[in-house]
Structure 1
């Protein structure tokens, strides 16, 4: 078993909020070999762009909140980092173990699947456009199949929504096709 000396974990997450702003959040917590540590949000910052430089500066700013002098002693207390930008941080924190954020990894896999499946992406996009802002079509769908949820409306900045939509269409493709075939093609260029 690996003995973990006094130190803490550090997690940095960047995302786009509902207003389209780039946000970086820094969470820290105590490392313990026997139980998960409780995370504490210590910094939330809006960024102009997200790149290794802005993320590293955000991390440094967060750590200066913990240790205003930020000496070599404090640098060596950073033992684990969960992020998608680990190589940059390994230079700053030599004792750090980098762990790729599972959410980032899964999102990258989903993005690759979306890129390699243009026909599936086209179906998802077209059906979304057929039902969005079309209450009469939504009513028709619910009348024909009241037990089914409406087709999902994936948002690419919300991780996992495209995969969930692809899974929905894999299961209900024929049903969606049946409903769409009842619509008038003249109503929308996406109905064909």
Structure 2
């Protein structure tokens, strides 16, 4: 059996997301004893720590003597807790290399100090600081101010680190600029979403009226590019969607009343068509950047493609989107630098 297969076998419970305290359940213990002929181990044993060391050793073997790339991200789970993740992988000019989740930790608060400490402690699991200082280390994060400061902080510990900003997140910030300049379009998207939320009768009416049209998409704050994707949907189906929403009684819900008010505004259809014509590339390229395995030259081509497209986009909003992209490319530096995807 291969080393990797042994790791999977030993971590079967963890891989299946089964809490280890389940082994103390009498019925489960009897079931396993009956069908495997073996006794389950006690929870007092330190199996998981040993298996953790085994997995880290496997990661070291995979990366070998190559330079290292890390990617750090912080998000909020459904309970509102701040969760930081650190992904590590091989930095090679020949291939993207497989990424590994090295560490995951709940933070009391999110700032440059807590993220810097988390990265330093997590890399300590992989190898000592002295070894990392002999290799080139590329660090990737989003473009928030505390992540930029984190990159500066890490220079103290790792003199060879190069901090890069995730281009997919950068393009999402550009789409956020577009959203802020189109409050009426945003009003349509947010209110129509509420019209069909927990309203099975209205959903059924929608499906009967538009059998070949899916329900309006719901933009997700933590998923990049979803607002523009929603705007593209409304641009394509504006007339039929308006007909359905206008057939509802405005007195039934505040969201219906607001949605109808926004739909009746003269400018919204033109704004949706403008977004579809000039900003569809942003949603498309974010999706491309989220693909695992893109090479360096492919990332650079995507950056140049979006840059050229926004530069040639007419109108005030197009100019503001282009300026936002330029400011991201020049962030923390007096000259442009390329940003790469996770």
With normalisation by structure 2, the TM-score equals 0.51
Counterpart of 1:21 in structure 2 is 81
Structure 1 unaligned regions, length at least 5: none
| 1:70 correspondence with 2:129 | yes
Residue in structure 1 matching 2:119, options 59, 64, 67:
59
Q: Which has more strand, going by share of residues?
A: 1
How many correspondences in the alignment? 186
Residue in structure 1 matching 2:140, options 51, 76, 82:
82
Residue in structure 1 matching 2:231, options 145, 158, 166:
166
Residue in structure 2 matching 1:96, options 153, 161, 165:
161
Q: Distance in 2 between matches of 1:88 and 1:10?
A: 15
Structure 1 residue 127: Cα displacement: 0.5
**Is contact 1:76–1:94 with CA below 8 Å preserved after alignment?**
no
Deviations 1:14-65 (A, max 9, x none): 2223333222111111222211121111101112222211211111011110
- Alpha-carbon distance change, 156 to 44 in structure 1, aligned in 2, over 3 angstroms: same
Counterpart of 1:156 in structure 2 is 221
Counterpart of 1:106 in structure 2 is 171
Residue in structure 1 matching 2:198, options 133, 137, 154:
133
Structure 1 residue 8: Cα displacement: 0.8
- Alpha-carbon distance change, 165 to 43 in structure 1, aligned in 2, over 3 angstroms: same
Structure 1 residue 78: Cα displacement: 4.4
| 1:40-51 map, 5 Å | 40-51=100-111
Structure 2 unaligned regions, length at least 5: 1-64, 258-342
Between structure 1 and structure 2, the one with the greater Rg is: 2
Q: Distance in 1 between matches of 2:237 and 2:155?
A: 46
Q: Distance in 1 between matches of 2:136 and 2:87?
A: 12
Q: Distance in 1 between matches of 2:168 and 2:76?
A: 14
**Is contact 1:90–1:98 with CA below 8 Å preserved after alignment?**
no
Q: What is the SS of the residue equivalent to 1:23? A: strand
Counterpart of 2:250 in structure 1 is 185
With normalisation by structure 1, the TM-score equals 0.87
Moved more, 56-65 or 13-22: 13-22
Q: What is the SS of the residue equivalent to 1:187? A: coil
Q: Distance in 2 between matches of 1:189 and 1:89?
A: 50
Superposed CA RMSD in Å reads 1.9
- Alpha-carbon distance change, 125 to 104 in structure 1, aligned in 2, over 3 angstroms: same
Q: Which has more helix, going by share of residues?
A: 2
